Each structure stands twice: as structure tokens, then as C-alpha cells.
A = this chain, B = another copy of it.
Amino acid sequence: MSILFTFFRSSASFRVRIALNLKQIPYQPEIISLPNGEQVGGTFLAQNPQGLVPLYVDANGSFSQSLAIMEYLDEALPSAHRLLPSDAVGRARVRSLSMLIACEIHPLNNLRVLKYLKHELKQDEEGVNNWYRHWVAEGLQTLERQLIHDKHQSAYLHGETPTMADCCLVPQIFNAKRYECDLTTYPKLMKVFENCMKLHAFDQAQPNKQPDAA
């Protein structure tokens, strides 16, 4: 059986947990505690020199970076639920939406950045929270704007079945809720979020349903 090195609160791990569920790929979770720094401990670092979760391991090798893992899963198991559309233009759109979240929002709000703000830039809790909410708002406003007037947006971010882009959106909304960001101004995104959360694949991947949830 394949293995997913994961942490319940890691958004990038959450994305891959959804993707594995959508594709109905069974996996063994191996917990890497980020607060305990296990991702940069010697044992894990030997397996993933990037020192990040998730890491996905199957008979073909070890795979890092959540979007690269999802692309790989889709190529390795094309007969299961498709995470990317079948046409090149659609794939480009799904990748672009995914990267808007994965490259423009998430990197600014992960744990190591918040730690730097606190310890190096001496930001208090309010300063850190303002930073967090600022980048979430910038990113989600952009995403909401992109969806208005876009004929491809439907029940999900792209069409009538969930794609890699939805696997990125849902963990980002979970994070935004945790930091009490105002989400009322993103009706299109929140409708997609609701539709996703009705699906078993998304529901079962959420942080508080993981074995390492407190």
C-alpha cells in the first residue's frame, strides 16, 4: 500500500488527502508533526530532502510538492476520477486556479513565515493575524473576481466534477475560517466550498477527522 506522510493541519497534505480520496486510492498515513519539527528531522529528511509534507510514496518512488503529487496521481491512475480536465485549455485553467492558491496565498501564511513575523520582526498576535487576513483577502478577492463572468465555473471551480483546483480551495477556506477571515464577500467561492464539503472525499480529508487531530 502507498504511504502519505501527512500532518492534520497541513493544507498541502489536506489537498493530497482529498485527491487520494477522490481517486479512491487506499494509503497508509504516516504522521509528521510540524510543531515538533519532525519534517526537518534526520529520518524524514533522508526521505524528503525538501523537508516538507506531504510526501507520497508508492512502488514507483517518493513524490513531493502537493500539486506535483496530484498531477502524478492523475497520470498514474487515469481511469479513476480525473483531477484535471481532458482538454489542454481546461487543464491550463485548472492549473492556473490551483496555482493562484498554492503560489499566491498559501506560501505567505504557512507556519515558518508566521514564526519569522513573530520572532524576527517582533510582530504581536494582532500583527500576525493582520498579515494572515490581508493575504487571504487579496487572494480570495482575486479568485472570486476570476469566477464572475467565467463560463467554466459551475458547481465546482471548473465544471461539474471536482478538480485539483477544488482540492486547493477547500483547505484554504478551512484556514481562512480558523483565522476568522470574513468570507461573506466571496459568494461564488463559498458555494463551491459547500458543494465540495457534501462529498465524502472532501469531508473525510478534513483536519479534525485525521488520526493525529488533537
**Least distance between A87 CB and chain B CB atoms (Å):** 10
The residue that A89 contacts in the complex, of B50, B52, B60, B142, with Cβ under 8 A, is: B60
Over the window 87-127 of chain A, the binary record of Cβ atoms lying under 8 Å from chain B Cβ atoms (1 yes, 0 no) is 01101110110011011101110001100110011010001
A65 sits at the interface (CB 8 A): yes
**Least distance between A10 CB and chain B CB atoms (Å):** 13
- The reply to whether A65 and B100 contact each other, CB–CB distance below 8 Å, is yes
Report how far A51 CA is from B138 CA in the complex, Å: 11
- The reply to whether A72 and B49 contact each other, CB–CB distance below 8 Å, is no
**Least distance between A50 CB and chain B CB atoms (Å):** 6
Report how far A23 CA is from B207 CA in the complex, Å: 42
- Interface SS of chain A: helix, strand, loop or mixed? helix
- The reply to whether A49 and B121 contact each other, CB–CB distance below 8 Å, is no
Over the window 45-76 of chain A, the binary record of Cβ atoms lying under 8 Å from chain B Cβ atoms (1 yes, 0 no) is 00001111000000011011101110110011
Report how far A181 CA is from B107 CA in the complex, Å: 21
- The reply to whether B63 and A96 contact each other, CB–CB distance below 8 Å, is yes
Report how far A106 CA is from B146 CA in the complex, Å: 22
**Least distance between A121 CB and chain B CB atoms (Å):** 6
**Least distance between A15 CB and chain B CB atoms (Å):** 12
Residues of B within 8 A of A108 (CB): 107-108, 113
- The reply to whether A91 and B107 contact each other, CB–CB distance below 8 Å, is no
- The reply to whether B145 and A96 contact each other, CB–CB distance below 8 Å, is no
- The reply to whether B142 and A51 contact each other, CB–CB distance below 8 Å, is yes
Over the window 142-154 of chain A, the binary record of Cβ atoms lying under 8 Å from chain B Cβ atoms (1 yes, 0 no) is 1001101000000
Q: Given the interface contacts A75-B91, A95-B65, A121-B127, does A103 sit within 8 Å of B102 by beta carbon?
A: yes
27 residue pairs bridging A and B, Cβ less than 8 Å apart: A49-B146, A49-B148, A50-B100, A50-B142, A50-B146, A51-B142, A61-B92, A63-B96, A64-B96, A64-B100, A65-B95, A65-B96, A65-B99, A68-B99, A69-B92, A72-B92, A72-B95, A102-B103, A103-B103, A104-B107, A107-B108, A108-B108, A112-B138, A116-B134, A120-B131, A120-B134, A121-B127
